[in-house]
Amino acid sequence: MNADALDGRLLFAIPKKGRLHDKCLELLAGADVQFRRHHRLDVCLVKNHNIALVFLPASDIPSFVGKGNVDLGITGQDVILEAQMGQYVTEVLKLGFGKCALQVQVPEAGPIKSVEDLAGKRVVTSFEVLAGQYFKEVDDRLNLQEGQQTRIEYVGGSVEAACALGLADGIVDLVESGDTMRAAGLHAIATVLQTEAVLIKSSTTKHPALEPLIKVITSRIAGVVAASRYVVCEYNIPRDKLSQATTVTPGRRAPTISPLEEEGWLAVSVMVEKAKIADVMDELVKIGAEDIMIFNLDNCRV
C-alpha cells in the first residue's frame, strides 16, 4: 500500500502480535471499526471510517505515535516508559487489559532474598532502561562505587532462562499469571512497576482536521471499556433507606432514581463495577432493597 492511499487518513497503530493483540481486535470490533486485514500485510484501510490501521510491534508504537505520523495507538504503559516516550505521548485511556507487573526475580532456592542482595551482581532483562533506572537507585542507596554497581544485560527473549543457564544472578521481567516464573524456579523479590494496556496519542496535534474523528473513536473505545467493566443494577428501595442504598451504589456519576406507584418506594438504576456486584447485592439485601436485577452491557457511552 503506497503513501497516497494513507494520505488524509487517521493512522491507528495496533500491536501486531503478543499479549495485547487479540484484546485489541475485540476492542476494535466493539467500537465498530470494520476492516479486513490481508495476510502478511501490516496496513489495512477501515471500511466505515477514514482510518488506516497499522500493525506494529508494541514496543515501537510509542515512537511512531510520539515522533511519527501515527495519530493513535494501543500499547503497554511499560513500553512507553522503556522507550522513554513519556513526554511525546499522552495516555488517553486505560483499557483494563494486559495488566501485569514488571518484577525483579531470582532463583527461589538461591541465596538472594532481596534487591539489596542482588545489587552489584548480574541482572538480565529486555527492559534495560527501566531496570537500569531501578538498580541505579538501589546502587546509589547502597553507595556502590563504579565497578561494584549492578550490571544490566539485555536479551530479547527467554529472559526467565538466564539464571538457570548461568547468564544472570537475577532478572527483571513481566509477570502476568506467574506460571512461567514458577516453572523456571524463580520468585519475585520486588516490583518495578504495574502496567496495563493504554490508548495513546501524540502530545502535539499533528492533524487538526482529524481531531473530531479521534474524539469519536476515543469515545467509542471508552464505551466498550466501560461496558466490560460495569453492569446495570436495578432495585426497589423504601424511601427512608435510599441514602444507605446509594452509599453502596453511588454509580459512575450518580444513580437514576424514580418514584414507584406504591407510596414510600423508589426505583433505582445504577452502574456497578462487575467485579463488585455480588457484594453490592448482598449489602442491598441487608439494607432492605427488593427486586434486585442485574443487566450486562454490550456497549455504552460514558
What sign for the dihedral angle of Cα 24, 27, 29, 33?
A: negative
CATH of the domain at 275: 3.30.70.120
* CB atoms inside a 10 Å sphere around CB 157: 7
For every one of its 302 residues, what pLDDT tens digit does the chain have, with 9 covering 90 and above?
Answer: 556 567 789 999 999 988 899 999 999 999 999 998 887 789 999 999 999 999 999 999 999 999 999 999 999 999 999 999 999 999 999 999 999 999 999 999 999 999 999 999 999 999 999 999 999 999 999 998 888 899 999 998 889 999 999 999 999 999 998 999 999 999 999 999 999 999 999 999 989 999 999 999 999 999 999 999 999 999 999 999 999 999 999 998 899 999 999 999 999 999 999 999 999 999 999 999 999 999 999 889 88
Are 148 and 281 found together in one domain?
Answer: no
128's grid cell: 534495560
Are 54 and 202 found together in one domain?
Answer: yes
How far is 173 from 103, CA to CA, in rounded Å? 6
Domain count, the chain: 3
Q: Are 97 and 196 in contact (CB under 8 A)?
A: yes
Are 13 and 74 found together in one domain?
Answer: yes
Are 67 and 45 found together in one domain?
Answer: yes
Q: Are 93 and 225 in contact (CB under 8 A)?
A: yes
pLDDT of 5: 62
**Closest-CA residue to 123 (of 194, 196, 189):** 189
Are 92 and 201 found together in one domain?
Answer: yes
Are 202 and 83 found together in one domain?
Answer: yes
Residue 216 domain flag: no
DSSP 150: P
Are 128 and 252 found together in one domain?
Answer: no
Residue 186 domain flag: yes
* CB atoms inside a 10 Å sphere around CB 46: 19
3-class secondary structure, 230:
strand
pLDDT of 3: 61
pLDDT of 301: 86
CATH of the domain at 44: 3.40.190.10
How far is 29 from 251, CA to CA, in rounded Å? 27
Predicted structure pTM score: 0.87
How far is 160 from 171, CA to CA, in rounded Å? 7
How far is 101 from 236, CA to CA, in rounded Å? 41
What sign for the dihedral angle of Cα 262, 265, 271, 272?
A: negative
Range of the domain at 114: 100-195
Are 76 and 201 found together in one domain?
Answer: yes
Q: Are 32 and 48 in contact (CB under 8 A)?
A: yes
Residue 253 domain flag: yes
pLDDT of 145: 87
Residue 214 domain flag: no
Are 55 and 202 found together in one domain?
Answer: yes
